[in-house]
Structure 1
Amino acid sequence: MIRSRAGAPAGARLPTRTRAAFRALVRAGPLRVLALRGDPRRLRRGLSLGLPTLWGAVAITYKMACPLAQETGLGARIVSSAVFFAVGTGLVLHIRHTLLRELRQMRKIAHAAQNVLLRPLPPRVDGLAVAGGQLSADRGAGVGGDLYEVLTTEQGVRVVMGDVRGHGLGALSTVAAVLGSFREAAHDEAELAGVLRRLERALARHLRERSRAEHPAGGGAEPDSPLAEEFVTLLLLEIRPDGEVVALNCGHPWPYLLSSTPGPRGPRGRAERLAGGEPLPPLGPFPLPADLPLVRCGRLRPGEALVLHTDGVEDARDRRGRFFPLHTALAEAVRVRPVVPQALIHAVFAQLLRHAGGLPADDGALLVLANDRRRVVVQQGEPIRRPAQRAT
Structure 2
Amino acid sequence: MFGIRRPLRRALSLGLPTAWGATAVTYKMTCPLAQQDGLGARLVTSAVFFVVGTGLIQHVRQTLLRELRQARRVAGAAQSVLLRPPPPRVEGLKVAAAQLSADRGASIGGDLYEVVATEHGVRVVMGDVRGHGLPALGTVAALLGSFREAVHDEPELDGVLRRLERALARHLRERHSEEHPASGRPPDTPVAEEFVTVLLLEIDAEGGVRALNCGHPWPYLLRGTEAGPLARSEPLPPLGPFPLPPELPATPCGHLGRGESLVLYTDGAEDVRDTRGRFFPLAETLAKAVHDHPVSPEQILRTVFGALLRHTAGSPTDDAALLVLRNERAHSATSHDAPAGDDLPMTRHDHDVRTT
TM-score, normalization: structure 2? 0.82
Counterparts of 2:38 and 2:177, CA distance in 1 = 69
| Kept after mapping to 2: 8 A contact 1:235/1:247 | yes
Number of the residue aligned with 1:109: 74
Counterparts of 1:191 and 1:274, CA distance in 2 = 20
**Matched residue type, 2:288:** E
Counterparts of 1:189 and 1:280, CA distance in 2 = 20
Select the structure of larger CA radius of gyration.
1
Alignment pair present for 1:381 and 2:338: yes
Number of the residue aligned with 1:256: 220
Number of the residue aligned with 1:329: 285
Structure 2 SS opposite 1:39: helix
Structure 2 SS opposite 1:143: coil
What's the CA shift string for 1:32-84, capped at 9, x where partnerless?
A: xxxxxx92222212222222222223222322222333444444444333333
Cα 1:84/1:230, change in 2 over 3 Å: closer
Structure 1 SS opposite 2:74: helix
Structure 1 SS opposite 2:192: helix
User: How many angstroms does 1:281 deviate by?
Assistant: 3.4
| Kept after mapping to 2: 8 A contact 1:121/1:130 | yes
**Matched residue type, 1:150:** V
Alignment pair present for 1:352 and 2:308: yes
Matches within 5 A, 1:5-84: 39-84=4-49
**Residue of structure 2 aligned with 1:235, choices 176, 191, 199:** 199
Cα 1:101/1:219, change in 2 over 3 Å: closer
TM-score, normalization: structure 1? 0.75
Counterparts of 1:181 and 1:386, CA distance in 2 = 30
| Kept after mapping to 2: 8 A contact 1:148/1:161 | yes
Matches within 5 A, 1:358-377: 358-373=314-329, 375-377=330-332
Alignment pair present for 1:134 and 2:99: yes
Counterparts of 1:303 and 1:109, CA distance in 2 = 39
Cα 1:56/1:318, change in 2 over 3 Å: same
User: How many angstroms does 1:179 deviate by?
Assistant: 1.7
Cα 1:70/1:308, change in 2 over 3 Å: same
Cα 1:276/1:96, change in 2 over 3 Å: same
| Kept after mapping to 1: 8 A contact 2:255/2:344 | no
Percent of residue pairs bearing the same amino acid type: 66
* Stretches of structure 2 lacking an aligned partner (at least 5 in a row): 347-356
Cα 1:99/1:286, change in 2 over 3 Å: closer
Number of the residue aligned with 2:269: 313
Counterparts of 2:172 and 2:59, CA distance in 1 = 45
**Matched residue type, 2:154:** E
User: How many angstroms does 1:308 deviate by?
Assistant: 0.5
User: How many angstroms does 1:317 deviate by?
Assistant: 1.6
* Stretches of structure 1 lacking an aligned partner (at least 5 in a row): 1-37, 261-268
Structure 2 SS opposite 1:106: helix
Structure 1 SS opposite 2:217: coil
Alignment pair present for 1:161 and 2:117: no
Alignment pair present for 1:216 and 2:183: yes
Cα root mean square deviation, aligned: 3.1
Structure 2 SS opposite 1:64: helix
User: How many angstroms does 1:299 deviate by?
Assistant: 2.7
Counterparts of 1:271 and 1:93, CA distance in 2 = 54
Counterparts of 1:138 and 1:362, CA distance in 2 = 8
User: How many angstroms does 1:168 deviate by?
Assistant: 5.0
Structure 2 SS opposite 1:298: strand
Alignment pair present for 1:303 and 2:303: no
Number of the residue aligned with 1:4: none
**Matched residue type, 1:306:** L
| Kept after mapping to 1: 8 A contact 2:228/2:345 | no
| Kept after mapping to 1: 8 A contact 2:286/2:304 | yes
Counterparts of 2:262 and 2:318, CA distance in 1 = 23
Cα 1:41/1:232, change in 2 over 3 Å: closer
Number of the residue aligned with 2:108: 143
User: How many angstroms does 1:382 deviate by?
Assistant: 4.2
Counterparts of 2:169 and 2:52, CA distance in 1 = 58
Cα 1:206/1:65, change in 2 over 3 Å: closer
**Matched residue type, 2:192:** A
| Kept after mapping to 1: 8 A contact 2:101/2:319 | yes
Counterparts of 1:364 and 1:121, CA distance in 2 = 17
